[in-house]
Amino acid sequence: MSSVDTLIESLGGVGYIASRRIATALYMAVNLQKPILVEGSAGVGKTELALSTATLLGLPLIRMQCYEGLDESKALYEWKYGKQLLYTQILKDRMGEQLADAPDMEAAMDRLHGMGDLFFSEPFLEPRPLMQALRQDGGCVLLIDEVDKSDEAFEAFLLEVLSAYQVSVPELGVIAAKTPPIVFLTSNNVRDLGDALKRRCLHLHIPLPEAALEERIVATRVPGIEATLTRELVAFVQTLRTLDLRKPPSISETVDWARALILLHADSLSPDMVRDTLNVILKFEQDIVAIEPQVVELLHRK
């Protein structure tokens, strides 16, 4: 991580072909210790970037998938209620004995208070992704996936974690990270994120790649693919993106398609082959219906 260029190279080493802008953003995130908010349409490699960073740095990856209704107890910590209950049942007699020789009610209460704290201590704490990430002493990569799907309330809760790398648990006090994790937030733009959250993050928008970059990505992701096939297929996908589609194919679709073609032993694109496998790159019936009759023309256009 000494410079952006070495970063591009080493990301390439773990199978992620990064553009310069991506690498710079990552480099800044590590150097400034700021979370990085990654936006872009589905399948351009947002999540993959976090996974590759974790592999590259040899850090554990902790992933938190966001959804509507996600709350603190699922993201931060929860008490192991079952275990608490079980222990109180097992220790019931023991507790009875302890309390039996208490001279009066007040003394018994005091002893009970001491026991109560036992049940709200570390062994009964169920750490969830956020707390796990903060307690990794060697640092880690924390991936907060699809943060736009969570509620506004949860977004506000994230602010403390993201700016100070600490959380407060009423029963235990403040838990601060020894080594701040490298945080990735991804967003599909289901809704606009709040300014407060955006302000705390570096921003990276991953666009659909240019042909040359995409060819390199396909070549890396699908080992053993012929160069001519790569070129043809990427050119075809690039043409598709210029059309008015409901969901233009992104990188992951290109890669899937390349894999499918390899499986079918195709060494170049023929109209029939394209028609048969169109459902790999286009995910809406309307898109497929619109493109199918044009396949021959599109193949000739490039």
Partner 1 sequence: MQHTLEQFFRALRAADVRVSPAEAIDASRAVTVTGYGDRTLFKDALCATLAKSADEVERFDAVFDTFFARDVATLPPISGADSESGQGEPSEADMAQAASSPLAQAVLQGDATAIQQSMEEAAARAGVADIRLTTQRSRLTRRLLEEMGLEEIERIIANARRMPDGQGEGLADRLDAARRSLFEQAQTYVARQHDLYAAGSARELREERLIKKQLNADGGVDPVDYVLMQAMVKKMAKRLAAKYSRRRRTARKGHMDVRRTLRRSMGYGGIPFDIVWKVKKVDKPSIVAICDVSKSVAASAQFLLTFLYSLNEVVDRMEAFAFSGRMISVNDIMDDNGVDSAILKVLQEIGFQQTDYGRSLQDFADNHLDKLDRRTTVIFLGDGRSNFADPRLDIMRQIHDRARAVIWLNPEPESYWAQGDSVMHRYARFCHVAKQCGNIEQLERIIEDVLRSYVPH
Residues that bind partner 1 (CB under 8 A): 4, 20-21, 24-25, 28-29, 31-32, 34, 36-37, 39, 68, 79, 81-82, 84-85, 88, 191-192, 195, 198-199, 201-205, 207, 244, 286
3 vs 166, beta carbon nearer partner 1:
3
Pairing of strands 125-127, 77-79: antiparallel
Neighbours of 194 (CB within 10 A): 13
82 vs 223, beta carbon nearer partner 1:
82
Can you tell me the distance from the alpha carbon of 146 to that of 129, in angstroms, rounded to the nearest whole number? 15
20 vs 301, beta carbon nearer partner 1:
20
CA distances from 30 to 24, 33, 36 (A): 10, 5, 9
Q: Which residue type does 111 have?
A: R
Nearest distance from C-beta of residue 244 to partner 1, angstroms: 7
120 vs 273, beta carbon nearer partner 1:
120
Can you tell me the distance from the alpha carbon of 177 to that of 17, in angstroms, rounded to the nearest whole number? 31
User: In the structure encoding, which two tokens stand for residue 268, read together?
Assistant: 């170049």
64 vs 204, beta carbon nearer partner 1:
204
Instruction: Yes or no: say if 72 and 151 are a contact pair by the CB < 8 Å rule.
Output: no
User: In the structure encoding, which two tokens stand for residue 94, read together?
Assistant: 């023991």
User: In the structure encoding, which two tokens stand for residue 248, read together?
Assistant: 């233009």
Nearest distance from C-beta of residue 37 to partner 1, angstroms: 8
